[in-house]
Copies of this chain bind each other. A is one copy, B any other.
């Protein structure tokens, strides 16, 4: 990747000073067992896009979960007594609550029909990432991938196999936030990059040391990509080109604030 380095400055802009967010069209409905890496490479080709080392490929969690068969039929779920109690209090489907609890390692808030959970991975989000939307069949729900970083690494390897290129890969999910209305996309799995761009210790424009700023660029890339997705239509994969992402072997789990440094858990 050294040959491409000179095209970028340290802000991650290419020589044209432009970052492009390109939605990949023509991704088919994904089924368990599908080869996502190959599907992405083909969709890019059909759109006339040659994948590059310096691209970031941003993939919606939902299609990764489907390809990995992380789907549960509620018909097969027997709720625990606790799930029944919670469901009754919150006016929810006890089978759905049961699936959510199975994905949960810690309950953060349980109030007003909202279940804010810490998932087995350590992410804090509503319903532990269990979701009904864009899943075929009324009784099916999707779970987050078992290990989203591993999913990202596997897709990245497959893309490398097929194209010789090693773009960064980000898997995203759509979450609400405390204090603010509306959802945005967050990074839940990454490969080939660090989730942070670190300015700590660098001087600002006036020579003072920037003390605290470490930008969560994996989350910013996730949010940027969402702009080209749209919820109800079939654009689950986006290519971001022209951003010199921080190379490395980071994990999306690095984005999780450790419990002892968290004032809101």
Contact = CB atoms under 8 A, between A and B. Distances in A.
The number of times this chain is found in the oligomer is: 2
Nearest to A254: B181
B12 A208 contact: no
A227 interface: yes
Given A256-B179, A256-B181, A263-B114, A224 B232 contact: no
A78 interface: no
Contacts of A67: none
Contacts of A185: 220
B227 A217 contact: yes
Contacts of A221: 227
Interface in A206-234: 206, 208, 210-217, 219-221, 223-224, 226-234
A182 to B, nearest CB: 3
B231 A178 contact: no
Contacts of A254: 181
Chain A, interface SS category: loop
A116 interface: yes
Interface residues of A, number: 81
A181 B262 CA distance: 9
A5 to B, nearest CB: 17
Contact of A182 (B214, B231, B261): B214
22 contacts: A13-B23, A13-B228, A17-B22, A18-B21, A19-B20, A19-B227, A116-B263, A133-B204, A137-B206, A174-B215, A177-B177, A177-B257, A180-B186, A181-B254, A182-B216, A184-B216, A202-B231, A210-B232, A213-B231, A215-B226, A215-B231, A224-B224
Interface of A: 10-13, 17-23, 25, 29, 47, 109, 111-112, 114, 116, 123-124, 132-138, 174, 177-186, 195-196, 199, 202-206, 208, 210-217, 219-221, 223-224, 226-235, 243, 254-257, 261-265
